Amino acid sequence: MSKTSSHARHLRLPAVLLAFVLLLGAATAAIVGVRGLERANRLLEHSYLVINLLVSSEAALHEAESKARGYRLTGRESFRPEYGDAVARAGQHSRRLIELTADNPSQQALARTFDADVQRHLSTMEILLDPVQMAALPEDERQRRISDNVRRAASMSVLRREMMDEETRLLGERQVTSQHRATLLVVFIVLAFVVALGLLVFMLWGLWRENRRSRRLELDARNALHDLHALSEQRHAQSKYAGMLQSCQTREEIVALTTRAVVELVPGASGRCYLARPSQNFLESAGTFGDHPISHDDTVTQDDCWALRRGQPHHLRGRSGGLRCAHIDGDAPLDGMSTLCIPLIAQGQSLGMLHVSAPSNTSVGDNDAAILASLSEQMAPALANLQLRETLRTQSLRDPLTSLFNRRYLEVSLARELQRCERRNLPLSVMMLDVDHFKRFNDTHGHAAGDAVLSQVGRLIQAGVRTEDIACRYGGEEFTVVTPELDADSARIRAEQIRKAIEISSVQHMGQTLGPVTLSIGIATFPANGTTPELLLQIADATLYRAKAEGRNRVLHASQTA
């Protein structure tokens, strides 16, 4: 988790609380402001009403004077009710002004004065309107009252103007105050909502980031689970490969199992598996896999592969990562390809090399390289163990001095071959061979020279038999050869060839030539001379002693009579 994301998460709760406080403050300010605007509107209405009453009272007085003047000039009675109505309205307006200006003492004092003047002015107008009363008054009194009425009207006009100016001033102040408060309220509410909206946007942005991060983590977890499942399958396949590897009996089985495992674990892979041959300084192709192996040579020397030279894997990604090995097809395009050569080394011995190539976007990545390295690490010891088992098996079945099979192998193989020939109704011959005068030779030249003779005889016997024949050292200076499917005549011919090859050979030991060496050979043939391994060996051995008794250095078949 990034430091910025963690810091933003810590600020989330304070931002929520601040947004809540701002919204609550905006709501409170709105309520208070609305109530203040209501009070301001009432004050404005009050000022407008006072101004309206002043204007109405002036209009009512003018109307009363007009009606009174019309009545005096025309004498029409219809003007009197109209005059009375105007007088009543003028009085009501002046008294109403006293009530409305109760909150303003100076204005109320002017209103009381104005009301008193209105009442006196109306009383004078009432007298002037009555002809009888007017006639009863002296002329100078009538003129005085008319003059007083005119002055009073002027005074009322001044009072009305003062009150109008005062209310107009109050109205202006109240309008300014109301507008100022409304502006402050709007600014505060707008700022509160903008800040709250910004905080909400910040929180939504944080939640969006957190949601995106959660989705990314969920995707990563899903991918990790998929990778874990794939890794588990790979581990299972590798474990299965390792288990089956221990059951392989031949190099070919190991190669086939390994190539199949490579194709299964690294889809799209192609390549070759090379194995070293005993006593040879090159590797030979033991198997291919995939559709497009680019390692084209059937044999590879150490100089042909950088992995064999360095004794460690050689990875080539496209045209980067190193030099192309000589065993890779020079015409093969490497763009978009990845190749890996892994030497098979066990116990310090180079046993082979595994070469794998595949498209770089689907194969032989770091994980695939590790898989191939793991397979190679298991394959190399398996090859070494198999080679060791073959060596031990060979040592247990062959005589170390002559490299011929030993007596134990003879007993098993003779029984098997005898059963096979019996089933197929074929002959089988057994030769018993013995070096003439070997004890005397051994006593004369020493045991080392005797061993040299036996080794030479063993090599010549092995060279004189067929691939399917079984040549064994029976014990001491005695040898046995089992020749399946050879009758008596063919066996005598084969034995004679072996006898002559040994007779004309010479043995070199410590710079001197030893010899001559001769053999006596006795032969028994199935089924004429016996039907069991023991009986055939017994008759061949008896025939051998007959050959020795008849002068040695000769071949004698059991069917031959003296």
> For the domain that residue 466 is a member of, what is the CATH number?
3.30.70.270
**160 & 263 share domain:** no
Range of the domain at 57: 3-209
Are 553 and 419 part of one and the same domain? yes
Query: Do 406 and 364 have their domain in common?
Result: no
Task: Give the pLDDT of residue 242.
Answer: 78
One domain, residues 409 and 477 = yes
Instruction: Please give the chain's pLDDT, 562 residues, in tens.
Output: 455 555 556 666 676 677 777 777 777 777 776 777 777 777 778 778 878 887 887 787 777 777 777 776 776 777 778 877 877 887 787 788 888 778 888 878 877 887 777 777 777 666 656 655 555 667 676 666 666 666 766 777 777 788 778 778 877 887 788 788 778 877 877 777 777 777 777 777 777 888 888 888 888 888 877 767 767 777 777 778 778 878 888 888 888 888 888 888 887 788 888 888 765 578 888 888 877 777 767 788 888 888 888 888 888 776 555 677 888 877 766 676 788 888 888 877 888 888 888 877 544 445 677 888 888 888 888 877 877 777 777 677 888 888 899 998 999 999 999 999 999 999 999 999 999 988 888 888 888 888 889 999 999 999 999 999 999 999 889 999 999 999 999 999 999 999 999 999 888 877 777 778 899 999 999 999 999 999 999 999 999 999 999 999 999 999 987 5
Q: Single out the residue in 209, 233, 254 at which a domain terminates.
A: 209
Q: For residues 523 and 556, is the Cβ–Cβ distance under 8 A?
A: yes
| The model's pTM | 0.51
Structure-token pair, residue 284:
């030979």
The answer to whether residues 454 and 326 belong to one domain is no
Q: What's the number of domains the chain is made of?
A: 3
Would residue 536 count as lying in a domain?
yes
CB atoms within 10 A of CB 63: 17
Q: List the CATH number of the domain containing 14.
A: 1.20.120.1730
CATH of the domain at 387: 3.30.450.40
Identify whether the C-beta of residue 344 lies closer than 8 Å to the C-beta of residue 333: no
Task: Tell me, yes or no, whether 536 and 514 share the same domain.
Answer: yes
Per-residue model confidence (pLDDT) at position 7: 55
Q: What is the pLDDT of residues 341-386, one digit of tens each?
A: 888 888 778 888 888 888 775 444 456 778 888 888 888 888 778 7
Sole residue written with tokens 């590797």: 283
Which residues belong to the active site? 477
- Beta bridge pairs of residue 471: 481
Residues 52, 200 within the same domain: yes
- Does 357 map to a domain? yes
Within 425-522, where are the H helices? 438-445, 447-464, 488-503
Please indicate, yes or no, if residue 316 is contained in any of the structural domains: yes
Same structural domain for residues 167 and 289? Answer: no
Last residue of a domain, one of 367, 392, 417: 392
Query: By the 8 A CB rule, do 488 and 523 touch?
Result: yes
Query: Is the distance from CB of 73 to CB of 92 less than 8 angstroms?
Result: no
